[in-house]
Amino acid sequence: MEPLVRVSHLSKRFGSFEAVRDISFEVNRGQVYGFLGQNGAGKSTTLRMMMTLIRPTAGSIEVFGLNLEQHRKEILRQVGAVIEKPDHYGYLSAYENLRMAAVLCGIHPSREKLMQQLDFVGLADRAKSPVKTFSQGMKQRLGIATALVHDPALIILDEPTNGLDPQGIADIRDLIRRLSRDHQKTLIVSSHLLSEIELIADSLLILHKGEKRIEGKMNELLNPAETIVELELGNKAAASILLQQTEWIGSVDWRSDLQCCVRMPKNRIPELVRLLSEADIPVHAVASKHSLEYYFLQLTQTETHVGPAVD
């Protein structure tokens, strides 16, 4: 199947600072593709290049099989996006904001059609309310309605849950799922939270300091056989001897005199705990993480961003 989006060796430099460095990826039709990375990783910079808001220093972008630089207008007619926080006219109503967005896209949908779009994002009952009275979550949902006003095939959402309360996050998550499941839209969604991307994405790319670190299908990257088990034990010497006799010896990593990590299938954690307990080794705490989660936390906790604050 021909990918809907193909990004090849994309780079962006701001003076001496390279915000994005030689990244390549493909997005298939119908996917929810997750862009994951801490603030400053290069997510927004990449998405801005895909929306032609900034020009790449090197590399190419193809969308719908067409080169973005050569077919910009044709491609963008089929793309909807919310890059960072959506901008609205605060004194106008939600309906008037949406109607104005449609006019700017060169279309004139009926009132019924616009109300259907507001209903889809859960704002039909606030259609006449000034947007200045909206919560951040409601503004975000109106931004998504605006991005959908011309019925695009590809939707790009940059940190759509940023700054929202738990209910707002759940609302946006539900919208993304429905766009993919019920409307067969292709979405690229960026976030700095693995827990959010994990719940919505089919595939994932991790960016760190402008470089691609991991890419793959979510169900493969979150393989339960690749669980990291963190143990807090009361006797390192005895535990080391015992673990050397198990099949997991090659995957034991001591973090301190009390804490170690073991890479193992999640369903075998009880077996490990039982072995330790039967050997009279105190087990004070047990916590499990996906290997992907563990890797991402290691990236974000042990390294700091250097250079301008460009995301």
User: Which H or E element spans position 289?
Assistant: strand 283-290
Residue 284 maps to which CATH number? 3.30.70.100
Q: Are residues 38 and 173 in the same domain?
A: yes
Q: Are residues 9 and 139 in the same domain?
A: yes
Better pLDDT: 1 or 121: 121
pLDDT value for 81: 94
Q: Are residues 126 and 28 in the same domain?
A: yes
Is residue 126 assigned to a domain? yes
| Domain C-terminal end among 187, 217, 247 | 217
Q: Are residues 80 and 10 in the same domain?
A: yes
Confirm if 210 and 19 have CB atoms less than 8 A apart. yes
Confidence of residue 307 (pLDDT cuts 50, 70, 90): very low
| Model pLDDT for residues 235-288, shown as the tens digit of each residue | 888 988 888 888 876 678 888 888 888 888 888 889 889 999 999 999 999 988
Q: What's the number of domains the chain is made of?
A: 2
Q: How far is CA 134 from CA 49, 93, 130, 142, 144, in A?
A: 30, 10, 8, 10, 14
Q: Are residues 122 and 146 in the same domain?
A: yes
Amino acid at 25: F
Q: Are residues 209 and 258 in the same domain?
A: no
Q: Are residues 189 and 122 in the same domain?
A: yes
Is residue 259 assigned to a domain? yes
Q: Are residues 151 and 242 in the same domain?
A: no
pLDDT value for 298: 72
| Domain C-terminal end among 182, 217, 252 | 217
Is residue 309 assigned to a domain? no
| Domain C-terminal end among 158, 184, 217 | 217
Is residue 307 assigned to a domain? no
Is residue 306 assigned to a domain? no
Average pLDDT, the chain: 89
- Model-level pTM greater than 0.85? no
Q: Are residues 189 and 248 in the same domain?
A: no
- For residue 197, the enclosing domain spans 5-217
Residue 61 maps to which CATH number? 3.40.50.300
Q: What are 261's two structure tokens?
A: 């990590």
Return the residue matching tokens 């969604």: 189
